[in-house]
Amino acid sequence: MISLHEGRGSRVKKAPVQVLVLGLTVAGCTPRIWRRLAVKETMWLARLHDSIQVAFDWFDYQTHTFTLEDLRLGNPAKRDGVLVEDDRDLTLADLELAKRGGIIYDYHFGEGWRVDIRVEKVMPPVKGEIYPRCLEGERAGPPEDCGGVEAYHDMLACIQEPNTDLGREWVDWLGPQHDVERCDLEAINRALRKFGK
């Protein structure tokens, strides 16, 4: 069982703020869709949710949940006897994410998406750098309302044959500018700057 409140209020000298380099991978997608984010450990978990939405070009239409061992955090609710606690009350440092090594993020839209998040590195902040920041990534995020992982793979197959009825439907639905192979780091970081410090 995770305890989130141990040591609060003690007079122990605070360690300097660290930056966590997080590897985010959309589970089940082939080819792999991933991002590498640098975030301060003082970031609120709800702000990490916002950053994930930006990183994968999603629109925050549905509920989300972070899972860390037996703890569920996200849109506060009680579902099927499981309590989902508010993710606006905790930072990554509160969760000791650097020590725990990772967390799971679920974004529910029909079939929904799962993002596996792993702490790849802990480092001091770089002077003058704005966080959060997307360092690397591959491929566009899967369209959040395309029907989940299986439908996403069907979509990829269909757009390879744009002259078929299904291929045309998907290309029209995605729009002419959509490129499944493109991860636009500049656009992601431009959008992330509104969260930056």
Alpha helices in the chain (DSSP H): 45-55, 97-100, 149-159, 165-174, 185-192
Task: Kindly state the average pLDDT of the residues 166-175.
Answer: 92
Residue 169 has pLDDT above 50, yes or no: yes
Residue 18 CA to its chain's centroid (Å): 19
Coil, strand or helix: which one is 97?
helix
Q: Could you tell me the residue ranges of all domains in the chain? A: 19-141+181-195
Task: Kindly state the average pLDDT of the residues 26-33.
Answer: 96
**Tens digit of pLDDT for each residue in 1-13?**
555 555 455 556 6
- Taking all residues of the chain, what is their mean pLDDT, rounded to a whole number? 90
Give CA–CA dist 70/84, Å, rounded: 11
Provide the whole-model pTM.
0.90
Residues 135 and 38 sit within 8 Å (Cβ to Cβ): yes
Per-residue model confidence (pLDDT) at position 4:
57
Give CA–CA dist 133/37, Å, rounded: 6
Residue 28 has pLDDT above 50, yes or no: yes
More confident residue, 85 or 109: 85
Per-residue model confidence (pLDDT) at position 7:
47
Query: For residue 26, which of 130, 111, 122 has the smallest C-alpha distance?
Result: 111
Task: Kindly state the average pLDDT of the residues 125-129.
Answer: 94
Residue 133 has pLDDT above 90, yes or no: yes
pLDDT tier at 18, thresholds 50, 70, 90: very high
Query: For residue 173, which of 144, 194, 136, 134 has the smallest C-alpha distance?
Result: 144
Task: Kindly state the average pLDDT of the residues 132-137.
Answer: 98
**Tens digit of pLDDT for each residue in 44-95?**
999 999 999 999 999 998 889 999 998 999 988 877 778 889 999 999 999 9
Residue 44 CA to its chain's centroid (Å): 13
Task: Kindly state the average pLDDT of the residues 154-177.
Answer: 91
Domain 19-141+181-195 classified CATH 3.30.420.10? no
pLDDT tier at 109, thresholds 50, 70, 90: low
Per-residue model confidence (pLDDT) at position 59:
93
Cα end-to-end span (Å), the chain = 32
What sign results for the dihedral spanned by CA atoms 35, 36, 40, 41? positive
Q: What does residue 135 show for φ and ψ, rounded to 5 degrees?
A: -85, -40
